[in-house]
Structure 1
Amino acid sequence: MSKNDSLIAVLILRCLITLSLLGTTRLNSFNMFCSEVYAEARPEVFPGTRTHGSDRTMDLGLAEDHFSRPVGSFVASDIEQLKLAIEECKKLILELPEHSERQKDNVVKLIHLRLKLQELKDPEEDEPNLRVLLEHRFSKEKSKSVKQTCDKCSTIIWGLIQTWYTCTGCYYRCHSKCMNLITKPCVRSKVSHQSEYELSICPEIGLDRQDYRCAECRAQISLRGVPSEARQCDYTGQYYCSTCHWNDTAVIPARVIHNWEFESRKVCRSSMRYLALMMSRPVLRLKEINPLLFNFVEELVEIRKLRQDILLMKPYFITCKEAMEARLLLQLQDRQHFVENDDMYSLQDLIDISTGRLSCSLTEIHTTFAKHIKLDCERCQAKGFVCELCKEGDILFPFDSHTSVCHDCSAVFHRDCYFDNSTTCPRCARMTERKQDEEELDVKES
């Protein structure tokens, strides 16, 4: 881009921002603009124009009623003449004094010309609000932001003059004109069908095994950047072109599980979307993948104990009317798996554990739950236990830190009493004796 083109681009951007603040979006009629162009333009801008006193006109090579025709009636020559008008208007902007009113007016006119050119190339009336393609569900966007980038062509989406779509599933963004060129299926479908991570750290296979082509679009790439730079995705270990890999960064699950490392690494676009959609899914069973992690990360042991206590509290809540009305379990609605098991984790859980955020919030919830059972609710208090081994002390609950629970009958005892007792659990003994009596009674009756 030349220096002049850069200057014009800056001026246009300023005017686009001004127009967006004023609420100007897309021009449906161009007649008023043409009248302004004819009345104010300088004669020297376009060769062959004539002036008569103060009535200076700019001959665009088009009749005024030309812009009133239906969109479908435009021909290729109309587009060519508009392109010519745009180039001449750019020259005029560079000739005029910088920051002058005439220069600003002509920049606005240049924007209007480009708006009309875009309408001829990409008529908005034919664009549906919803399109389905490769399992994407594309919804037409109404935002006029200029900060978006097309995921297909890697260029800026000019919301003021271009129609664009966003996939409601994976948030893939693209121009309307790029829709038919998309080859990437929706990542959300992969999340639905294959909810699991790559658990090997950067499983590189080598650029030669990829035939020196992008792993996604198969464009030619090389480490020397000729014809395109090869960029490695730290999640898949494969190499991608600059169109499929924008140097986005993400936390890599394999590095977290094996090394407890949370540094963000460069990943390709598809991996970035997949990791973002998988972030809150509880698919990591740490006890199977890397059980030694609990020996080195004290925070994990603390969280596991809190989760086990919450699972012991759950039966109290689902049988307590007051707890159901207070919806106490909904305090964990963002981490529903915490009230279902104690061994499944999401990547977001592990990130929050490393920052200490999860420990603080879960301890607070644990305290609220315990307060309801032991202090606030008489019905829950009545479901406590008395240590049958020493028959002393306060009412016990299975989630108390100084207690032990029988694995067979779930009776609760003081921890010291339970481990010092050489006999079997008294409750289990009674249940066994009762069962034997019932069997003997059945035999006598038969």
Structure 2
Amino acid sequence: EEIRLRTRMRGSLNWAPPSFQIIFSVQPPHRSEVVALQHYLCAGCGTEVEPYSVSDFSKQLLDSVWCQPLFDLTSVGKTLYSKVKELDRFRLREQLISIKKLLKACRLSEILAEFEELPAHLMEEPLLFSMEDLQRVKKGQLVVQARAVLNSAIEHIKHCELCMGRGFICEFCRVKDIIFPFQRDICKRCKACFHKECFVGKRCPKCTRIQSRTKIQMNL
């Protein structure tokens, strides 16, 4: 009896210690706990667009800047484009900026009026957004509108002799189809256009010609 009372035993009449075991898989926590740890934001991009209650002063400030292009996405979040699928889809805006430059040089173009339906700053500053823009991108509205304008512009170029005359022939493959800056890869130095599958950055034919001419002029 004395030995039994002095012996240290794990457990009691109401509790038994866990048995030895190897844990091969950790059970994930409940979703509610995970979302709370993320402060109810998206784990991928950290964005959240649901409205929250704010003070009258804050609401007045937000209303006053709602349509102003104040947000540079490279400073707000450098990886937003790759993490937010809605923003990634809106990369077609870069095509719109390029194609608009081509249409401005066409006296037969009537498509430019459709570009006026889009916010003007989106056609000038590649990375500036207003809060209204970001909300419309998130809802998919701005992407649909921009794609419709882009498709109309491409159709005009396909059937316009003036615009087709400003296209390029790929100097790598020499295929006769006309290509434009908004369609294919561009040499960063001379801005010549090529098929993406053909383009080799350090072997640009136009850059080679420019370098050859420069050397000849220097030797004269």
TM surpasses 0.5: yes
Identity fraction in percent = 29
TM-score normalised per structure 2 = 0.74
Give the partner amino acid of 1:298. Answer: K
| Relative contact order, higher structure (CA 8 A, sep 6+) | 2
Deviation at 1:301?
1.1
The answer (yes or no) to whether the contact 1:309–1:399 under 8 Å persists in 2 is yes
Q: Secondary structure at the match of 2:173?
A: coil
Deviation at 1:333?
5.0
Give the partner amino acid of 1:312. Answer: S
Provide the rounded CA distance (Å) in 1 between the counterparts of 2:61 and 2:118.
20
1:295 to 82, 102, 124: 82
More strand by share: 1
- Would you say 1:371 and 2:179 are equivalent positions? no
Deviation at 1:272?
1.5
For 1:337-376, list aligned pairs within 5 A.
337-373=121-157, 375-376=158-159
For 1:242-281, list aligned pairs within 5 A.
259-281=46-68
Structure with larger Rg:
1
Aligned length: 178
Provide the rounded CA distance (Å) in 2 between the counterparts of 1:311 and 1:261.
28
**Structure 1 counterpart of 2:215:** 436
**Structure 2 counterpart of 1:391:** 174
Provide the rounded CA distance (Å) in 2 between the counterparts of 1:287 and 1:388.
34
Provide the rounded CA distance (Å) in 1 between the counterparts of 2:81 and 2:188.
23
The answer (yes or no) to whether the contact 1:311–1:339 under 8 Å persists in 2 is yes
**Structure 2 counterpart of 1:121:** none
- Would you say 1:282 and 2:69 are equivalent positions? yes
**Structure 2 counterpart of 1:315:** 101
Cα-Cα RMSD: 2.1
Which digits, 9 at most, give the CA deviation of each residue in 1:340-361, with x for residues without a partner? 1211111111101111111110
Give the partner amino acid of 1:378. Answer: E
Q: Secondary structure at the match of 2:108?
A: helix
The answer (yes or no) to whether the contact 2:111–2:156 under 8 Å persists in 1 is no
CA separation of 1:399 and 1:377: change in aligned 2, threshold 3 A: same
Provide the rounded CA distance (Å) in 1 between the counterparts of 2:122 and 2:113.
10
Give the partner amino acid of 1:379. Answer: L
Deviation at 1:417?
1.0
Gap regions ≥5 residues in structure 1: 1-254, 442-446
Give the partner amino acid of 1:395. Answer: I
Which digits, 9 at most, give the CA deviation of each residue in 1:35-62, with x for residues without a partner? xxxxxxxxxxxxxxxxxxxxxxxxxxxx
CA separation of 1:355 and 1:332: change in aligned 2, threshold 3 A: same
Provide the rounded CA distance (Å) in 2 between the counterparts of 1:269 and 1:294.
32
The answer (yes or no) to whether the contact 1:332–1:338 under 8 Å persists in 2 is no
Which digits, 9 at most, give the CA deviation of each residue in 1:87-137, with x for residues without a partner? xxxxxxxxxxxxxxxxxxxxxxxxxxxxxxxxxxxxxxxxxxxxxxxxxxx
Provide the rounded CA distance (Å) in 2 between the counterparts of 1:428 and 1:267.
56
Deviation at 1:362?
0.7
Provide the rounded CA distance (Å) in 1 between the counterparts of 2:133 and 2:214.
45
Provide the rounded CA distance (Å) in 2 between the counterparts of 1:328 and 1:309.
14
Provide the rounded CA distance (Å) in 1 between the counterparts of 2:78 and 2:191.
26
Give the partner amino acid of 2:212. Answer: E
**Structure 2 counterpart of 1:87:** none
**Structure 2 counterpart of 1:381:** 164
Give the partner amino acid of 1:293. Answer: L
TM-score normalised per structure 1 = 0.38
CA separation of 1:334 and 1:383: change in aligned 2, threshold 3 A: closer
Which digits, 9 at most, give the CA deviation of each residue in 1:219-275, with x for residues without a partner? xxxxxxxxxxxxxxxxxxxxxxxxxxxxxxxxxxxx89x732111111222321221
**Structure 1 counterpart of 2:33:** none
